[in-house]
Structure 1
Amino acid sequence: MITDKNAKPAADTTTAQVQPAADTKPAAPAAAAPVAVPAAPDPVATGAELAATGSEFDTVKAGTAAAAIAALGAGALLLARRLRRQS
């Protein structure tokens, strides 16, 4: 490593504190009087409601179909194992 014998160490700037300029203004003006926000309309009065996600009957049909597919798959697996043992 080559060093200059006449070089002086750099000034330590990590402890220096920054003072704000005297002519600066605050970032935001003082808050004025609170503004009244209108309330949301009553959903029952306007007829609006949440989106329908399906009836209970649809859920029962989907569950029944899934159970039937699982039962058919298990039955096919058992049949394939039984036929493999016989041959």
Structure 2
Amino acid sequence: MSQPKKEPIKNGKIWVVFGFLIALITPWYFPESFGEVLVYGVPLWAIFIIAASLLLSAFLSYVIKYHWMLEEEEEEHEQEGVN
């Protein structure tokens, strides 16, 4: 039987990963030389931020799918207990 899901707001590890990924998509820490390096005409900092945004999206999808307790799921569990 699978473990019961709990709200992600109560999981500190999820918040740490969110904080790290948000920091990666913030361009304030890039050195000025990142704007000079181009990869196929796109600045290196833009490629870095796009990759970090994709990671953030994937992590959000993971959290929603595996850690978010939805009301429908609670109702299904209650109905199973009644039957």
Structure with the higher strand share, 1 or 2: 2
| Shared fold (TM-score, shorter chain, > 0.5) | no
TM-score range (shorter-chain normalised) is 0.3 to 0.5
Q: Looking at both structures, which has the greater relative contact order when contacts are Cα pairs under 8 Å and sequence separation is at least 6?
A: 2
TM-score w.r.t. structure 1 length? 0.32
| Bigger radius of gyration among the two | 1
